[in-house]
A and B are shown apart, each in its own frame.
Chain A
Amino acid sequence: MAKVEEYDMPDELYYHKEFMWVRVEGEEAVVGLNDFSQKLAGEISYIEMPEEGDEVKQDEAIGSYETGKWLGKLYAPVSGEVTAMNEEVEDEPTLVNKDPYGEGWLFKIKMGDPAQLDNLMKGEEAIEWLKGEIAKHAKEKK
């Protein structure tokens, strides 16, 4: 797994500019919030996700979460139909903080157009992007 400074970034995943990750499983995209975003946002108290059956569009805000009085948004990294959501995360949102790429996954989307994955970042491109985000947003932390 790639690590950019203190932030995990698994190589096999696709990344969306709004800090979501995607793991492709057949026709489905498993979606979560990336490590960088959850670390900077802090402990998640509440989360609201799309429901099964919802049709979502790439780049659209489709959910919300609250950390330390900040209300953040969850985005659809690809278009399609929501086929599942992680009920355990709904009950215990800190799973996203504890294990953002594992137990903290958020929802699954049956992709309408898998070619949209080309709009996401992967590998070196994603690493370079994250380095830029760290420079912009986490500079005071270092």
Chain B
Amino acid sequence: MYVFNLDKLSRQQSMLIFHLLARMGVEALVLVSPKIPLASIGYFQNAEEEMDLRFCKKTNIPVMRREVGGGATYLDENQIFHQVIIRKDNPIFSRNISENYERFSLPVIETYREFGIETGFHPVNDILTKEGRKIDGEGSGDIGDCFVWVGGILLDFDYQVMSRVLKVPEEKFRDKIYKSMKENLTTMKKELGQIPPREEIKSVLIEKFEKIFGKLEPANLTSTMIREMEKLEKEFTSPAFLFKKTPRISKGVKIREGVEVIYGIHKAKGGLIRAAQEVEKEIINEISLSGDFTFYPKDYLEGLEGKLKGNVREKSLLNSKIEEFYDKEKVQSPGVESEDFLKAMKVEE
């Protein structure tokens, strides 16, 4: 098995490399960073629904669909991607996918430990610090005859740009995403106050991965590989592939395992209702309601938010909370009923 200990690659090549090696059936560990910022969407995401394509174009951030699951990500030089490509007939590979995640996360966890950051694997696919903050997110997929498992060491993270590349129905929702990411996503810089030397981190990663794969043979990109990546880039950025319609419907942004920001807009008879929530394990941590509907007295909308906070997103429970609030506070909202709030909050049966 090879190790491609690469520097920063241009355009989308830091992502294309694992797609190429998997298609070629080459088993490898790849360590690489992008030279320029880019955005990537999961295979089943709709680019137009998930990404602010106008902003990405304006700021020269290329967007690509990857052949790996999960959600939209913003990638830049402050991340070291670790990509494992193994053939599916390799005894190390398990069709019990969660086992692969757990096994391949271990070298990453040990690397963080080596630099003084205690982390642990958190199913399905996150590495979290002791305080529960995400420091490495992972994804995987079958490509050709290979299984690929990819993730990234976060040296530093641009929360602002990440919240900007995502498409949101209302600008104000960005702030929720930004704050939630700041709270739930950490980096080496945040944890240590500084970024350790990149080459040191990569050399520890290789040493730890060798405990699983045995001695890895150093390899470099060949001119054929670069040419093939250029061909792949055309395929991956073609409108037919990038903008293909998929069955996944966007309802918000997953920040880390168990934490998501859900936003929704619902047109009730009495006006438009906007709802943005931070939800942790189905419990509403934070919620903000707004819109152009009449709610009298207006100040009491905050009271309704308070009444909903801390509850499980369960339809009958939230319905009774809203009705209790209306009964107690004697508020009026013509043309807006509790069902309308629940629709804006995307609370299902």
Question: Which residues of A pack against B, CB within 8 Å?
Answer: 19, 36-37, 40-42, 45-48, 64, 66-73, 90-91, 133, 136-138, 140-141
Considering the complex, give the chain A residue whose CB is closest to the CB of B95: A137
B96 near A48 with CB under 8 A, answer: no
CB distance from A119 to the nearest CB of B (A): 18
Interface window among B63-71, B192-200, B323-331: B63-71
Q: Jot down 26 A-B pairs with beta carbons below 8 A, ordered by A.
A: A19-B95, A40-B94, A42-B97, A46-B44, A46-B246, A48-B246, A66-B44, A67-B97, A68-B69, A68-B98, A69-B138, A69-B139, A70-B141, A71-B43, A71-B67, A71-B69, A71-B141, A73-B142, A90-B247, A133-B95, A136-B94, A137-B95, A138-B95, A140-B94, A140-B99, A141-B96
Q: In the A-B complex, list the 3 residue pairs whose CB atoms are closest, starting with the nearest.
A: A71-B141, A137-B95, A46-B44
CB distance from A104 to the nearest CB of B (A): 16
Given contacts A40-B96, A66-B69, A69-B125, contact A48 B44 (CB under 8 A): yes
B124 near A69 with CB under 8 A, answer: yes
Chain A residues within 8 Å of B97, by CB: 40-42, 67-68, 70
User: Which positions 207-259 of chain B face chain A at CB distance < 8 Å?
Assistant: 246-248
Is the C-beta of B13 less than 8 angstroms from some C-beta in chain A?
Answer: no
B interface bracket (residues with beta carbon within 8 Å of A): 20 to 34
- Provide the B93-130 mask, 1 if CB < 8 A to any CB of A, else 0: 01111110000000000000000000000001100000
A47 near B95 with CB under 8 A, answer: no
Q: How far is the CA of A37 from the CA of B246 in the complex (A)?
A: 23
Q: How far is the CA of A66 from the CA of B248 in the complex (A)?
A: 10
Question: Which residues of B pack against A, CB within 8 Å?
Answer: 42-44, 67-70, 91, 94-99, 124-125, 138-142, 246-248
- Among B42, B98, B138, B141, the residue within 8 A (CB) of A42 is B98
Chain B residues within 8 Å of A69, by CB: 68-70, 124-125, 138-140
CB distance from B222 to the nearest CB of A (A): 26
CB distance from B247 to the nearest CB of A (A): 5
Considering the complex, give the chain B residue whose CB is closest to the CB of A39: B96
Q: How far is the CA of A113 from the CA of B113 in the complex (A)?
A: 57
B96 near A138 with CB under 8 A, answer: yes
For B42, B44, B69, B125, the residue with the greatest tally of chain A CB atoms inside 10 Å of its CB is B69
Considering the complex, give the chain A residue whose CB is closest to the CB of B144: A61
Given contacts A69-B124, A69-B138, A69-B139, contact A64 B98 (CB under 8 A): no
Supply 10 further A-B pairs (C-beta < 8 A) apart from A64-B44, A70-B139, A140-B96: A36-B95, A37-B95, A40-B94, A40-B96, A48-B44, A66-B42, A69-B124, A69-B138, A72-B141, A137-B95
CB distance from B99 to the nearest CB of A (A): 6
B95 near A68 with CB under 8 A, answer: no
A72 near B142 with CB under 8 A, answer: yes
B94 near A137 with CB under 8 A, answer: yes
Q: How far is the CA of A66 from the CA of B140 in the complex (A)?
A: 10
Q: How far is the CA of A19 from the CA of B95 in the complex (A)?
A: 11
CB distance from A106 to the nearest CB of B (A): 14
CB distance from B249 to the nearest CB of A (A): 10
Chain A residues within 8 Å of B99, by CB: 140
Considering the complex, give the chain A residue whose CB is closest to the CB of B70: A69
B247 near A64 with CB under 8 A, answer: no
- Among A36, A90, A136, A141, the residue within 8 A (CB) of B91 is A136
